[in-house]
Amino acid sequence: MPGWVWVLLVIFLLAMLITGSVYAVRRALAALHAVNETGGRVADIFARLDQEPTTGDAEAPSFILPLEVSADRYADAHSVVIRHQEETRSRHATVWKRWKTFNDLGR
C-alpha cells in the first residue's frame, strides 16, 4: 500500500475516534441532565412527604373510632364506586347504541 493511503487511514481513524468521543460525551451529558431532573423531582416529593401536615383538623384513625363511623365511611365510598360503575355502563351503552345505528343513517 502506498504511504498516502496509510495517512488517510490514520486521519480517518482519528476523525472517527474524535467523533465517537464527542457523541459519547454529549449523550452522557444528556443522560446526566435527565437523571438530575428526575432526582430533583424525587427529592421534591420526599420533601413534601417529610413536612408536617398543615391542617389541624385531621381525621382520627379508623381503629380508634366506633365501628359505625367506619361502616358509614365504607358505605359512602362504596356508593361512589357503584355510581362510577353505573356511569361507565351508561357511557358504554350510549356508545354501542351509536355504533349500532351508525351504518343505518346512510340508507
Does residue 75 have a pLDDT over 80? Answer: yes
Residue 105 has pLDDT above 70, yes or no: no
Query: Confidence class of residue 55 from pLDDT cuts 50, 70 and 90?
Result: low
Dist CA 99 CA 71 (whole Å): 42
Q: How far is CA 27 from CA 21, 23, 39, in A?
A: 10, 6, 18
Task: Render pLDDT for 76-104 as a digit per residue (tens, 0 to 9).
Answer: 999 999 999 999 999 999 999 988 887 77
Cα–Cα distance for residue pair 50/34, rounded to 1 Å: 24
**The model's pTM:** 0.42
